[in-house]
Structure 1
């Protein structure tokens, strides 16, 4: 088999082109069918019933027949030329793509080798080179490959500042240089997620795998998660803030499952900041996460859809803030979470729709507060939760709608307080709960219970 023939067959396999003979037959068949359809339509529109027979033709008619024959031949030639030109264009485009892919691969190899250098400056150049390669990638798959390498770089073993010896000046300088490279990587990811989805350099909709990454800072504020998946499973947050302030979640899944938020040596706790973020879809997942320090902040966030999941999370220290957040939809899920310390605050939040699930949660210490929250809708459910310690309080909360549900909860200790709460509607339901009713719900002067309040059975 000749090399030329092999190349043609390879092109056909790569482009999935049909053999030219079959294409020409189909093209001619299609052309004949179209011509016949046009002829039939014209015949029908003119109302013709039969052809006028001619035993002899004059020179004019003969000349018209000759022109028609040449026209048919010319049309057939044009059709062949069109098919061949189209196939040549496809082959040229494929060749250009192959050349672009080959060049991309060469640049990719160079950039990746830079990430393995000892010098932080060379690594920094490699990070920027990979980001540029992702922007110039000829296919979506090649762009994802560049993103995967950047995420893999962040997943490499990393010693946080808190683990460095106090007198290790050189090691500390090395740490600071590498931290700059890592923060630059996070910043480049953020900048590309801020771009509109239809922008040619936008990375929205791609997958980002930060599994087991050690974060000691970084800014993802304003990033837009509208598709794909972002995994923080098993990530560790040391000391410094990781910022999602102003981020928009309209799709995608952001998974913090199993992540550990640990206070750093130089800080009282790290911060993961979703302040002012907008959740209209997708999922932010803290499933089985451990909060032993640091802060997770959803202050002033807007929840009109989507889910924030703390299912089976463990809270032994550090706060989770939803202060002044607005809930007009979506779900916050603390089902089966364990509260042995720390605090979850919904102070000043406005609940007009959506659901906060705390079913089956265990409260042995710590605090959950709804200080000054406004309930005109939504459901906050502690059904089946076990209270042996800690505090859940609704101080100064306003209830004009919605439901607070403690059905079948176990009230063996701790405190649930509705002190100075105002009830003009809605419901607070302790049906089936075991233990003492919150004293703050029982009027001191023997007055009737507030509207919508159902106490546990005596």
Structure 2
């Protein structure tokens, strides 16, 4: 039974108009039903009045007018109920029309925002970012799609060097606006427009700056293959990662600073496996790993500085299996120092 109900809900998802029978079927059926019902009510009322008349001393004949009045009263009550059902049907149809109009409007807004994001001018792309963010707030059913589009934009090829041939004017500002919009929606998990529980896929993206401070990531987070390059900071300070997977696999840290200062990894599998720490500084000071497994397996520490000062392990384990240590300055704090470091 539960499987059948779930299947019915899946089949009706996206439908806003109830299934209705054709009029040429409903009209004769309604007339026949009304006639049968009137006949049943009339005979029931006649029997009732006949029994009442027979019980009187002396007995009296049945008053047909009383029978007819009772029948008409009962039919009127039934008609009122049917009128209420008809009004309810009209309400469903009106709501269906409204929902279709809303869905059409939201789809049009999505198309417009997507077109703006692909525009050559940075100002138009910025407008597309804000339009897509507002759409995500209004369109709960497709919020993940809107988030995916913003993340996909960050995954697109990006040349931060203004002197390079692939550099796009204003692109840095557009990308920083996307990061800021995402951060703004990760600050208060309990608000209706929060994006905290959604998935974020930044795989292969290039970050030369970004502020994710005090964000709450409750869905899966992917930075696998991403590049963090300087000279500015990418800041995750005070952020909370509480999903079952936080993935920095094969990430490259090649300049600037990436800070997880005071961040909380709670109950998560945190993967820095095969990450490359080439230069810059990666900070895990005051970071709390609670009920997590942190993997630096196969990571390459070949430059820069990595610090774990005052980091806390609470029912957590850090793995450095197969990691390579050469030329990186470490500040381990309370964490166990790997044998090869």
Q: Which residue among 234, 238, 258 is the counterpart of 2:225?
A: 234
1:245 aligned partner = 237
**Residue pair 1:220, 1:245 contacting (<8 A) in 2 also:** yes
CA RMSD of aligned residues (A): 3.5
**Residue pair 1:230, 1:252 contacting (<8 A) in 2 also:** no
**Residue pair 2:249, 2:275 contacting (<8 A) in 1 also:** yes
**SS of structure 2 residue aligned to 1:127:** helix
Q: Where do 1:34-73 residues align within 5 Å?
A: 56=54, 72-73=74-75
Name the structure where strand makes up a greater proportion of residues: 1
Q: Which residue among 208, 213, 217 is the counterpart of 2:209?
A: 217
Deviation at 1:64, TM superposition (A): 9.5
Higher relative contact order (CA 8 A, sep 6+): 2
- Provide the C-alpha distance between the structure 2 equivalents of 1:216 and 1:286, rounded to a whole number of angstroms: 19
**How many residue pairs get matched?**
300
Instruction: Name the CA shift for 1:129/1:72 in 2 (closer, same or farther; >3 Å).
Output: same
TM-score normalised to the size of structure 1? 0.57
- Provide the C-alpha distance between the structure 2 equivalents of 1:66 and 1:135, rounded to a whole number of angstroms: 60
Deviation at 1:109, TM superposition (A): 2.1
Deviation at 1:186, TM superposition (A): 0.4
**SS of structure 1 residue aligned to 2:267:** strand
Unaligned runs of 5+ in 1: 1-10, 26-52, 264-269, 350-355, 357-367, 369-381, 392-458
Instruction: Name the CA shift for 1:97/1:273 in 2 (closer, same or farther; >3 Å).
Output: farther
Instruction: Name the CA shift for 1:81/1:261 in 2 (closer, same or farther; >3 Å).
Output: farther
Q: Report Cα offsets for 1:190-213 as digits up to 9, x if no partner.
A: 11011223x221112112221111
- Provide the C-alpha distance between the structure 2 equivalents of 1:12 and 1:19, rounded to a whole number of angstroms: 17
- Provide the C-alpha distance between the structure 2 equivalents of 1:12 and 1:236, rounded to a whole number of angstroms: 40
- Provide the C-alpha distance between the structure 1 equivalents of 2:137 and 2:206, rounded to a whole number of angstroms: 26
Deviation at 1:324, TM superposition (A): 0.8
- Provide the C-alpha distance between the structure 1 equivalents of 2:241 and 2:69, rounded to a whole number of angstroms: 67
1:256 aligned partner = 248
Question: Is 1:306 matched up with 2:292?
Answer: yes
Deviation at 1:236, TM superposition (A): 0.8
- Provide the C-alpha distance between the structure 2 equivalents of 1:146 and 1:12, rounded to a whole number of angstroms: 19
TM-score normalised to the size of structure 2? 0.75
Question: Is 1:189 matched up with 2:182?
Answer: yes
**SS of structure 1 residue aligned to 2:102:** helix
1:112 aligned partner = 114
Q: Report Cα offsets for 1:91-140 as digits up to 9, x if no partner.
A: 33332222112112222222222222222222212111111111122x42
Question: Is 1:336 matched up with 2:337?
Answer: no
Deviation at 1:77, TM superposition (A): 3.6
**SS of structure 2 residue aligned to 1:251:** coil
Unaligned runs of 5+ in 2: 1-11, 31-50
Name the structure where helix makes up a greater proportion of residues: 2
1:280 aligned partner = 266
**Residue pair 2:289, 2:313 contacting (<8 A) in 1 also:** yes
